[in-house]
Amino acid sequence: MSAADSPPSDVAFSGLHASVVDQMGLAIGAGEWQSGSIMRIEELEERYGVSRSVIREVLRVLASMGMVQSRRRVGVQVLPATEWNLYDPQVIRWRLASPGRVAQLRSLTELRTAVEPQAARLAAMRAPLADASELMGLAGKLWAAGRDGDTELFLKLDIQFHHLVLSSSGNEMFGKLNSLVAEVLTGRTHYGMMPDHPHEEALQMHVDVASAIQRGNAVDAHAAMLAIMERAMTEMSTLWDETAHK
């Protein structure tokens, strides 16, 4: 589907359209419609209680995400996950809401482990002084929120911290991953996959990242961010092992 065929975002993602997009995306992400399944517009109208025009707009949105494809004289076919836009924040959110969320989190955490240490290294070389100072401030606020057990504030600050590291790298491709990281952190928190009180070592690692970037020490910045990623992997390894043995 060409970009010209995509519905305007203020139509496709507002009101009733947004609600049905979300319901159908969640259903596909959860495997209620398996890869290769055929959706028929008449059945979708009945299932969601909306008009044909709404269903068509919703399907166009899902098609733009690579989740479905219209087939003449057949219907709308659900595509395999390998065809989906796996970097789309909504697709990530739907997959994290599915029974396969642990595998999704593992995949995303492995990606973060490959990218964020390098982003921290580059930030130490390129970050403006204002960004480096802001990172130090965020690290301090993170420590306080973690100590106080303020989960929602900690999540908000953690997202800001990692977003700023990515953007301070000076690499526009890394900067565009901030939405992905935000969804990972949000998913881990809201699905109970984060400790209620972050370990002091993890809080110190954030301070270490910020300090290294402020000092312009690329090696230390990379090492400190890698330690954060490896700790996240370790914290989730039990979940992955439990899933593998089910």
Handedness of CA 145, 139, 224, 107 (dihedral sign): positive
Cβ–Cβ under 8 Å, residues 235 and 189: no
Rounded distance between C-alpha atoms, residue 39 and residue 42, angstroms: 9
Structure tokens belonging to residue 88: 């789309």
Looking up tokens 């954030």, which residue turns up? 206
Half-sphere exposure of 57 (CA within 13 A, CB side): 21
Looking up tokens 């992997």, which residue turns up? 233
What is the pTM for the complete model shown? 0.85
What stretch of H or E contains 113?
Answer: helix 101-126
226-240 residue pLDDT tens: 999 999 888 887 766
What per-residue confidence (pLDDT) applies to 10?
A: 36
DSSP-derived letter for residue 82 is G
Angle at 30 between CA 29 and CA 31, to 5 degrees: 90
Looking up tokens 């699905």, which residue turns up? 191
56-115 residue pLDDT tens: 999 999 999 999 999 888 889 999 999 999 999 999 999 999 998 988 998 999 999 999
Angle at 34 between CA 28 and CA 40, to 5 degrees: 75
Q: What percent of the chain has pLDDT over 90?
A: 76
pLDDT of 183 strictly over 50: yes
Cβ–Cβ under 8 Å, residues 112 and 229: yes
DSSP-derived letter for residue 68 is E
14-37 residue pLDDT tens: 589 999 999 999 999 999 999 999
pLDDT of 194 strictly over 90: no
Rounded distance between C-alpha atoms, residue 210 and residue 234, angstroms: 22
Burial class of residue 28, CB neighbours in 10 A (0-12, 13-18, 19+):
buried
In DSSP notation, 19-57 reads: HHHHHHHHHHHTTSS-TT-EE-HHHHHHHHT--HHHHHH
Cβ–Cβ under 8 Å, residues 69 and 33: no
